Structure 1
Amino acid sequence: MSKILFVMTGVDHWTLADGTKHPTGFWAEEAVAPFTAFKAAGHEITVATPGGVVPTVDRGSLAPEVNGGQEGADEVAAALASLSELQHPIPLEDVDLDAYAAVFYPGGHGPMEDLAVDPASGRILIDALDSGKPLAVVCHGPAALLAATNADGTNAFAGYRVAAFTNAEETQAGLAGRARWLLETRLVEAGVDVQVGEPWVPNVVVDRNLVTGQNPASSAPLAAEVLKKLA
């Protein structure tokens, strides 16, 4: 079967407007659900992060209240612990895109801190887009699209229909008023056509080889779309 590249945040915080460092990283469900689906389908996964640092899970994403109760939280934590690939990431700078059949970006607030301004990630995104390979990005992962700029300064994803974590969801999560910038707003400013769905409900948008999901609940259906494209 194929190899899939997981591009993940390398930070453990998100700097808020007042300079406070909000603890974060990647969101557990957004890694676990696609990871599990891809491996069950027989695909091999390589994790890449800025500098090759081991990615940090957002502890909030392991809480019972965001996993349907304690049983769900225990299942996610156990699944996460079984993903040995997370402990052996390669540096983004060393990625050879030709080795992979698809690219996947999970979210969490971490990408708002590092991938949104990471030139190596930006090049991977542009190359993946141009290659026609499935490129999947979920929740706050689309912050990485902001670093995908063309030589003339325009965004490579301008005009693409994209789902991403919305201003309404950020407000309901209690962080919109403390953020330096909001993902939906910044994507729109870059010319991206953000398709806003209902808060916290699965919303997956497919535009050419780009597959995006709005929130954690979109992770599993997004992975299913990628598997259809790989079939």
Structure 2
Amino acid sequence: MSKGKVLVIGSNATTLEVQGGGTVETGQYLNETVVPAMAIEAAGYEIVLATPTGAKPTIDPVSDAAEHFGGDEKALEEARGYYAHSPAMNAPKKLSEVVDAGLDGFAGVFVPGGHAPITDLMPDETVGRALAHFHTEGKPTALLCHGPIALAGAAADPKGFRAAMVAGDDAKAAEAAGDWPYRGYRMTIFSANEEKVAEEHILKAKLYFDMPRALTAAGGSVENGAQNFAPFVVTDRELITGQNPASDKPLAKAFVEALAARG
């Protein structure tokens, strides 16, 4: 018997704009999606995957590698199989329809990373509506790597907030954030130093802003671990955030424990 439902908010983005006017291909990270999802199901919860369009998220090919599973090829194959065939990952719903139907029956919410959320979850008012429910009710809210940028969806004007960050106007972004529900919360997200590595070796391009800068402009108290690409998780009230791909297992553990503690 299920202990309850957990909402997983996925991204449909496959491109991300970069400085100079071009775009790069992107998606969700496989391990950041699957490792927490499998832990949530193993703990006895039912997953409801929802995205802005209702389509299944695209996995960033860069993440389809054993290095993100501790070099374990068997774990990589298991993750691929889970994402390809599990009912939880293959019955996505449209997020607006899930939110409109009501979120009272959900025990918590999880947002995976990869660069994709910067494109479509960050400026999405429906994401903000969903997060507002879990915030108001004090329900466990977990976001991983670039996933915490989705917290900007809860800004007073999320589209304006994102546009201001792209324009490099932090003051205007702070204004667009308004009475952001996570103002003053401790949180983490993919660090500026880690982003420089990703820009150089993966994206081959520069983003318009780094993630800590955006959440700081919104009013968050952003922390990053002392070592790049090492596990780092921050919990403040209902909010649980993980810094990078290596934070997948500790974030999943903290989230499952928070769900259990709430009952």
> Residue 15 and residue 64 in structure 1: after superposition, are their counterparts in 2 closer, same or farther (change >3 A)?
same
State the one-letter code of the partner of 1:161: R
Matches of 2:240 and 2:217, distance apart in 1: 20
Per-residue deviation, 1:39: 0.9
Map of 1:201 onto structure 2:
230
Q: Which has the larger radius of gyration?
A: 2
The Cα offsets for residues 89-135 of structure 1, whole Å up to 9 and x where unpaired, read as 11111122112001000111000000010000011112211111101
Further displaced range: 157-166 or 90-99: 90-99
- Gaps spanning 5+ residues in structure 1: where? none
Matches of 1:118 and 1:105, distance apart in 2: 13
Give aligned pairs, total: 231
- Gaps spanning 5+ residues in structure 2: where? 158-176
Per-residue deviation, 1:64: 3.6
Matches of 1:41 and 1:187, distance apart in 2: 31
Matches of 2:72 and 2:36, distance apart in 1: 21
Map of 1:108 onto structure 2:
114
State the one-letter code of the partner of 2:54: G
Map of 2:162 onto structure 1:
none
Task: Name the TM-score, length of structure 2 as normaliser.
Answer: 0.82
> Residue 223 and residue 69 in structure 1: after superposition, are their counterparts in 2 closer, same or farther (change >3 A)?
closer
Instruction: Summarize the alignment of residues 46-125 of structure 1 with structure 2, pairs less than 5 Å apart.
Output: 46-69=48-71, 71=73, 72-95=75-98, 96-125=102-131
Matches of 1:103 and 1:67, distance apart in 2: 23
Per-residue deviation, 1:83: 2.8
Identical positions, percent: 39
Map of 1:217 onto structure 2:
246
State the one-letter code of the partner of 2:42: A
Per-residue deviation, 1:20: 2.4
Task: Specify the SS of the correspondent of 2:104.
Answer: helix
Matches of 1:176 and 1:160, distance apart in 2: 33
Contact 1:4 1:43 in 2 (8 A): yes
Contact 1:27 1:57 in 2 (8 A): yes
Per-residue deviation, 1:176: 8.9
Further displaced range: 57-66 or 25-34: 57-66
Q: Which runs of 4+ in 1 moved over 4 A?
A: none
2:8 aligns with one of 6, 9, 12: 6
